[in-house]
Structure 1
Amino acid sequence: MNGLNKALSSTIGTKAVVAVTGAILAFFVLGHMAGNLQLFLGQDAVNTYAATLKGMQGPLWLARVVLLASLIAHIMGNLKLRARNQAARPQAYAQKKPLESTLFSRTMLVSGLVLLAFIVFHLAHFTLGMVEPGFYELHDAEGRHDVFSMTVLSFQQPLIAIPYLIAMALLFMHLAHGVASLFQTFGLRTPKWRDGIDLGGRLFAIAVVVGNIAIVLACFVGLIHPAQGAF
């Protein structure tokens, strides 16, 4: 056990923890976006999806615990690496060529901390109902929580839509660099595969961000309307 703790506490071990937890979080945001795209299918599809998830309490809480643990480990690992770098005791990535310094790489910590603040806002908005309590209390004709109308009505508000769009720009930067860093950490971003991995990271980030932005903009410009009599 001491050997494992020592390995995980090393620079390379910490980078591995950051990479693995980053992958968990990245796949979650992809799945979360895909589920939210059901907004384009209408009220019944979204509210059925939300009610189904809410009914799966065991798996839902397990997922929440894993995500929370991953988020904490990801943040703490990055802060630890940052402190070690500032102390001038860097340890190279376990691969042949380091990532080139880019705007995305130089702003990873800042974008990550801003995204953390956004996560808190997002949870306060959709999970706790603290941002728009009136929308949060809506129910559909079947008595289910009307997630569809709550989402549409919320994103029609500029003060809600704009922060979400800004957060998506930062998420793109974070994911595009983070995916490449994941492969680099495990020594897979070799000269042969480097360009393909970097492109894959950007495409992954684009898929997540474009899907989320499409939802916000469709509500904001009126392509998706709240259910009749929702408010």
Structure 2
Amino acid sequence: MNIAANSFIKFYKSSIGKKVIVAVTGLALIGFLLGHMIGNLKIYAGADKINSYAAWLHSMPIVLWGARIGLLACFFGHIITTIMLVIQNRRSKGSQYVYKHTNKASGASRTMIWSGIIIICFVIYHILHYTVRFANDYDSSAYIDPNGNHDVYKMLIDGFSWWPASLFYIFSMALLCWHLSHGFASVFQTLGLRTDKIWTIIKATGYAYSLIIFVGNCSIPVSVLAGWLS
């Protein structure tokens, strides 16, 4: 094993190393959430817009699959490393992971393991449902629009028309954004970007960002169930 690999393993085994990995992967996921939401919100512009957008993404398979693999690596790396960090800190300190300058962990940090497990289940379901299109007919000719593109608009409408799927999506998104409200500020702290002057602003930005992601994403299943999108 070369020196670089040994150095990385040593770094990863340390508490500081795990925190940096969690912060960097978290930052990548924070950016992805915004981009993914903006893409999904094209559904309000009509079928042509969102279907053309999806077709454009699929016209670059190497870039698309490279991004997917990278994001999955970040996602599972983030969750697994966070769980390892919590366990490591509990063993060494006999307490849960806490922010510096706080007296006790927030609700999000106390339940990060369980919320993380549920979020993993949601991501797996979401990928199987809309990307792999497992156990549905979303790959059939019924989901081809007049322009010959995959009818993402119809797929989303049909998928969210089943209320249990919409309810699970909204519940999972609530957990994700609760997790995000905790993690947003943690990224800045771990990377050494925290100062007392801007800490309140960073925390407020994290809460606002989480709320925007939640409202934007959840507006789609709500609109479908309410009949505003059909």
TM-score using structure 2 length: 0.89
Question: In the alignment, which of 98, 102, 106 is matched to residue 102 of structure 1?
Answer: 106
- 2:212 aligned with 1:207: yes
Computed over aligned residues only, the root mean square deviation of the Cα atoms, in angstroms, reads 2.1
Question: In the alignment, which of 176, 180, 184 is matched to residue 175 of structure 1?
Answer: 180
For the residues of structure 1 that align with 2:174 and 2:199, how far apart are their CA atoms?
24
- 2:73 aligned with 1:62: no
- 2:133 aligned with 1:134: no
Instruction: Assess if the C-alpha contact under 8 Å between 1:135 and 1:153 holds in 2.
Output: no
Tell me the amino acid that sits aligned with residue 207 of structure 2.
R
Instruction: Assess if the C-alpha contact under 8 Å between 1:172 and 1:205 holds in 2.
Output: yes
Instruction: Assess if the C-alpha contact under 8 Å between 1:99 and 1:181 holds in 2.
Output: no
For the residues of structure 2 that align with 1:104 and 1:194, how far apart are their CA atoms?
18
**SS of equivalent to 1:213:** helix
Q: Find the counterpart in structure 2 of residue 76 from structure 1.
A: 80
- 2:109 aligned with 1:111: no
Residues 56-95 of structure 1, C-alpha deviations (whole Å, 9 max, x = no match)? 111112111211221232122112212212212589x9x9
Shift of 1:122: 0.2
**SS of equivalent to 1:28:** helix
In structure 2, relative to structure 1, the CA distance for the partners of 1:8 and 1:98 (3 Å cut) is farther
In structure 2, relative to structure 1, the CA distance for the partners of 1:97 and 1:222 (3 Å cut) is same
Identity of aligned residues (%): 38
Tell me the amino acid that sits aligned with residue 212 of structure 2.
A
Shift of 1:121: 0.5
Tell me the amino acid that sits aligned with residue 217 of structure 2.
N
**SS of equivalent to 1:87:** helix
Q: Find the counterpart in structure 1 of residue 162 from structure 2.
A: 157
Greater per-residue helix proportion: 2
Q: Find the counterpart in structure 1 of residue 229 from structure 2.
A: 224
Q: Find the counterpart in structure 2 of residue 228 from structure 1.
A: none
Structure 1: tracts of 5 or more residues without a match: 226-231
For the residues of structure 1 that align with 2:83 and 2:212, how far apart are their CA atoms?
28
- 2:27 aligned with 1:23: yes
TM-score using structure 1 length: 0.89
For the residues of structure 2 that align with 1:145 and 1:195, how far apart are their CA atoms?
45
Tell me the amino acid that sits aligned with residue 206 of structure 1.
L
Tell me the amino acid that sits aligned with residue 229 of structure 2.
I
Number of aligned residues: 223
Residues 156-214 of structure 1, C-alpha deviations (whole Å, 9 max, x = no match)? 11121111111111011011001011112123333322211111111111111111011
For the residues of structure 1 that align with 2:90 and 2:127, how far apart are their CA atoms?
33
Tell me the amino acid that sits aligned with residue 153 of structure 1.
D
